Amino acid sequence: MEKTSETKDRGYVMTTLAFHPLANVFPLLEGEEFDALVADIQVSGLCEAVWLYEGQILDGRNRYRACQRLGLDCPTRDYPGNDPLGFVISMNLRRRHLDESQRGLIADKLAALPLGANRYTIGAQIQAPTQERAGLFAII
């Protein structure tokens, strides 16, 4: 998904944002779960801004997609830290209803990150977790 802007009938500009590769470690909400999020945002509005890192969505892909479905622009904020992988894990692992097999797939994806393959930081390097550390995510 590349970053573009398009004018909507409602007179404002919606920005299309790409998903950061680290955010893609976690599965997207689908079906009834996603529909419930859309309905909640329609009624209550967006309560948590979408987090960006290097101009891409680091956390909030589902909130962003829900806003797009509703034709709403969604607020964003930049991640200021130096551990984007740790941030993604922290924001998603415990608050999401992931079953054991989903957590296992996430652990596999994390363990398979080649050293240096996800160095998307400015002036710093993202360190892929060790296989032992990645395996801990599956049992949490």
Question: Helix or strand or coil: residue 117?
Answer: coil
The model's pLDDT over 5-54, given as tens digits with 9 standing for 90+, comes to 444 444 444 678 999 988 988 889 999 989 999 999 999 999 999 999 99
In percent, the amount of the chain with pLDDT more than 90 equals 40
- The Cα 18–Cα 36 span in angstroms is 23
- The Cα 98–Cα 78 span in angstroms is 26
> Can you give the pLDDT at residue 46?
93
Whole-number CA gyration radius for the chain:
16
pLDDT at 96 over 80: no
Confidence of residue 60 (pLDDT cuts 50, 70, 90): very high
Tokens encoding 14: 């919606």
> Can you give the pLDDT at residue 105?
64
Element at 78 (helix H, strand E): strand 76-78
Amino acid identity at 36: A
Give the global pTM.
0.65
Q: Which of 45, 94, 96, 55 is nearest to 77 (CA)?
A: 55
